[in-house]
Amino acid sequence: GRKRNDPASKQLENYAMNAAPSKVLDWMGLGQGQTIMTMSNGCPVANRKDVKTAGRRGPLVVEDIVFFDEWQHFNREKIPERVVHAKGNGAHGFFVVTNDITKYSRAAIFSEIGKETPLFIRFSQVIPEKGGSDTVRDPRGFAIKFYTEEGNWDLVANNTPIFFTRDPQMFISFIHSQKRNPATNLKDSNMQWDFLSLRPESTHQVMYMFGDRGIPASFRTMNGYGSNTFKLVNKDNQAVYCKFHIKCKEVRNLLPEDAQLLAGMEPDFYGRDLYNAIEDGIYPEWMMYIQVMTFEEAENWKFDPFDVTKVWPHGEFPLIPVGKIVLNRNPKNYFAEVEQAAFAPSNIVPGIDFSPDKMLQGRIFAYKDTQLHRLGKNFMKLPINCPYRTKVVNYQVDGESVHEHNDGMPTYYPNSFMGPVEASDLKEHVWPVIGDCKRYEDVTEEKDEDNFTQPGIFWNKVLDQAARTRLVKNIVVSLKDCKEFIQDRAIENFTKVDPEFGRMVRAGVDAEYNVIKDVAPELSQKMKI
Ligand code: NDP
Ligand code: HEM
């Protein structure tokens, strides 16, 4: 057959060429140019193939330190995968300012046109486990870490401008409903649609996900959206609310049939595509834009501007260009740079701030908390996470595996011995809060629960008839396996978006109309299981 010849397939060959070029030419003859392997204490290893035994047929002896050194590390080489967004790939690159937004934000990253800031991006699928397939129907993560001179700013974005829930307390149930059934360990349409249909605020994102953009053609051809509402603060301490958009040159998607084939044949389709593009010098690019809303506009807007199930329409809040993002360097060690990368919405810098958005506020807590579990206490010191363009100076001490010293600096504040002091020029933005402190119920009391106006605009104005038909087909493929009462409830929500939408899904479900053929029963028959 035809041999693979892409950069990803040639990675080891390239390593060997760099390590010992002359030897590779006569294909890896052992000897000169190759380094000697050692144990973790640096001692050279004479034999790495055979255990040390008392007599030819065993048993092992305790003095086989090579055996213990290897095994003790191997037995601990896995860490927990991310609770969501477990499967992903990343790359290094830079951000360059193309337009002046200093009137909105004093963040150093935006300070002048042409200024470059290094960054790292990790793209991901949300629901599949670490070994899952890339080309499933799912939102995609688009997490960006900007290494600015005032600290790291993480814009932990998705490829969708909205989200399924508007209350962070709903997030856990939402995720549980989309993951595996705890009894069967299988994906479960009833769970998935039970939750989605019970929570009408998910309808907007459900339509986005079951539409064409639910399966991108690659990480390179999808947009990123900060989704949550943020706040920008300028040098005079004036603030506006803001949304971030990261747009690729052209959004491209996969047909569900092709995606399904790839999920089996090339489960790492996006990962390979990203790696190869960068190795081949085809550097992926995006433009960053912001939308801006004043506090006054926020007060009077017809929707809740902090509701992440809604967008800010472009017509009312036009996109303002900010800069360009380019990815131009692959990681050298996936585990160190991608698996251990820790993005958190709580990582902000002066000039970029939070809005009252409840979901964002929930996220401020969740990420660092899970990372302390996933990566251990000192994960911020890892090279991929550490704000290397500034110096971390604080009064935190000790914890596992500390290796740097602080020159004998005092470990309490305030002190009389020249310890670091507060940045007293840096005034935090002050904003008023009003209202009763209570648990505000979404569906019953507040006027903001309008769950269908924007989905209606999406259906009527954004999608053409062919795109609507594809959306309906994709929904039916998933909904057809559910209990009738769940189907009915889901269709009721779609009917509220637009009666025609509801009718089309109903017709599809009733006809058990099957776009991607369900081959499982046929196969079981054939194999006489
Ligand atoms: P616009 O007509 O200005 O925006 C529509 C946007 O929809 C486009 O700019 C594009 O977003 C996105 N889009 C285009 N085709 C598809 C598709 N097949 N699947 C998913 N998204 C698509 O109108 P509005 O800003 O008033 O928004 C109208 C509706 O469009 C919203 O209710 C929302 O459902 C959807 N939308 C809005 C976005 C926003 O931030 N305003 C972003 C994305 C979708 P993009 O330019 O980001 O690629
Ligand atoms: C990952 C929580 C909503 C984007 C994660 C992780 C958690 C989490 C716990 C795992 C982090 C890790 O292990 O490092 C939440 C909560 C949410 C929420 C509680 C809502 C209340 C969102 C939204 C977006 C988003 C709205 C996008 C706009 C991401 C991305 C990752 C992620 C991109 C993967 C980061 C990476 O690549 O490491 N989320 N999330 N999340 N989340 Fe969220």
- Give the pLDDT confidence of 134-148 residue by residue, as tens digits: 999 999 999 999 999
44 - beta bridge partners?
38
Q: What is the mean pLDDT of residues 80-101?
A: 98
Q: Check whether 207 has a pLDDT greater than 80.
A: yes
Q: Does residue 366 have its Cβ closer than 6 Å to ligand 2?
A: yes
Q: Does residue 307 have its Cβ closer than 6 Å to ligand 1?
A: no
Q: Which residues of 407-439 are buried (b: 16+ CB within 10 A; e: fewer)?
A: eeeeeeeeeeeebeeeeeeeeeeeeeeeeeeee
Amino acid at residue number 92: H
Residue 117, token pair as written in the block:
């800031």
Residue 173: strand, helix, or coil: helix
Q: Does residue 58 have its Cβ closer than 6 Å to ligand 1?
A: no
Question: pLDDT (tens digit, 9 = 90+) per residue, 450-507?
Answer: 999 999 999 999 999 999 999 999 999 999 999 999 999 999 999 999 999 999 999 9
Nearest to residue 145, comparing CAs of 160, 127, 125, 123? 123
Whether omega for the bond prior to residue 59 falls within 30 degrees of 0, making it cis, is yes
Count of other CB atoms within 10 angstroms of residue 229? 25
Higher per-residue pLDDT: 180 or 434: 180
CA of 496 to the centre of ligand 2 (A): 30
Protein residue whose Cα sits closest to atom 9 of ligand 1: 314
What pLDDT score does 525 carry? 72
Q: Check whether 301 has a pLDDT greater than 90.
A: yes
Give the CA angle between residues 429, 431, 435 to the nearest 5°: 155
Give the CA angle between residues 520, 474, 87 to the nearest 5°: 75
What pLDDT score does 441 carry? 78
Q: Which atom of ligand 1 is nearest to the CA of 204?
A: 34
Q: How far apart are CA 91 and CA 272, in angstroms?
A: 12
CA of 205 to the centre of ligand 1 (A): 12
Q: Check whether 350 has a pLDDT greater than 90.
A: yes
Q: What is the mean pLDDT of residues 59-83?
A: 97
Residue 493: strand, helix, or coil: helix
Q: How far apart are CA 59 and CA 428, in angstroms?
A: 67
CA of 141 to the centre of ligand 2 (A): 8
Q: How far apart are CA 470 and CA 474, in angstroms?
A: 6
Q: Check whether 515 has a pLDDT greater than 90.
A: no
Per-residue pLDDT band at 407 (split at 50, 70, 90): confident
CA of 269 to the centre of ligand 2 (A): 22
Q: Does residue 160 have its Cβ closer than 6 Å to ligand 2?
A: no
Q: Does residue 313 have its Cβ closer than 6 Å to ligand 1?
A: yes
What pLDDT score does 512 carry? 66
Q: Which atom of ligand 2 is nearest to the CA of 226?
A: 28
Q: Does residue 226 have its Cβ closer than 6 Å to ligand 1?
A: no
CA of 437 to the centre of ligand 2 (A): 26
Q: Does residue 345 have its Cβ closer than 6 Å to ligand 2?
A: no
For residues 482 and 190, is the Cβ–Cβ distance under 8 A? yes
Protein residue whose Cα sits closest to atom 8 of ligand 2: 367
Q: Which long-range contacts (CB under 8 A, 24 or more apart) does 424-430 make?
A: 426/350, 427/237, 429/231, 429/233, 429/237, 429/239, 429/353
Q: Check whether 294 has a pLDDT greater than 60.
A: yes
What pLDDT score does 516 carry? 45
Q: How far apart are CA 72 and CA 414, in angstroms?
A: 44
Q: How far apart are CA 8 and CA 280, in angstroms?
A: 10
Count of other CB atoms within 10 angstroms of residue 5? 7
Q: How far apart are CA 38 and CA 42, in angstroms?
A: 5
- Distance from the Cα of residue 425 to its chain's centroid: 34
**Bind-site residues:** 367
Among 12-16, 87-91, 310-314, 481-485, whose mean pLDDT is lowest? 12-16
Q: Which atom of ligand 1 is nearest to the CA of 314?
A: 25
What pLDDT score does 23 carry? 62
What is the value of ipTM here, to two decimals? 0.97
Kind and range of the H or E run holding 269: helix 269-279
Number of the ligand closest to the Cα of 82: 2
Higher per-residue pLDDT: 33 or 283: 283
Residues in contact with 252: Cβ distance below 8 Å, sequence separation at least 6, in sequence order: 216, 217, 218, 221
Q: Which atom of ligand 1 is nearest to the CA of 454?
A: 32
Q: Check whether 429 has a pLDDT greater than 50.
A: yes
Q: Check whether 1 has a pLDDT greater than 70.
A: no
Q: How far apart are CA 95 and CA 151, in angstroms?
A: 15
Kindly list the catalytic residues.
Answer: 85, 158
Count of other CB atoms within 10 angstroms of residue 352? 23
Ligand 2 mutation target, pool 87, 158, 176, 346, most atoms within 8 A of CB: 158
Residue 353 phi, psi (nearest 5): -145, 180
Q: How far apart are CA 477 and CA 136, in angstroms?
A: 13
For residues 204 and 139, is the Cβ–Cβ distance under 8 A? no
Number of the ligand closest to the Cα of 141: 2
CA of 453 to the centre of ligand 1 (A): 14
Amino acid at residue number 158: N
Q: Check whether 271 has a pLDDT greater than 70.
A: yes
Residue 62, token pair as written in the block:
């305790």
Q: How far apart are CA 107 and CA 101, in angstroms?
A: 10
What pLDDT score does 448 carry? 56
Q: Which residues of 327-349 are buried (b: 16+ CB within 10 A; e: fewer)?
A: beebbeeeeebbbbbbbbbbbbb
Q: Which atom of ligand 2 is nearest to the CA of 369?
A: 9
95 - beta bridge partners?
117, 325
Q: What is the mean pLDDT of residues 249-264?
A: 97
pTM: 0.95
Protein residue whose Cα sits closest to atom 4 of ligand 1: 314
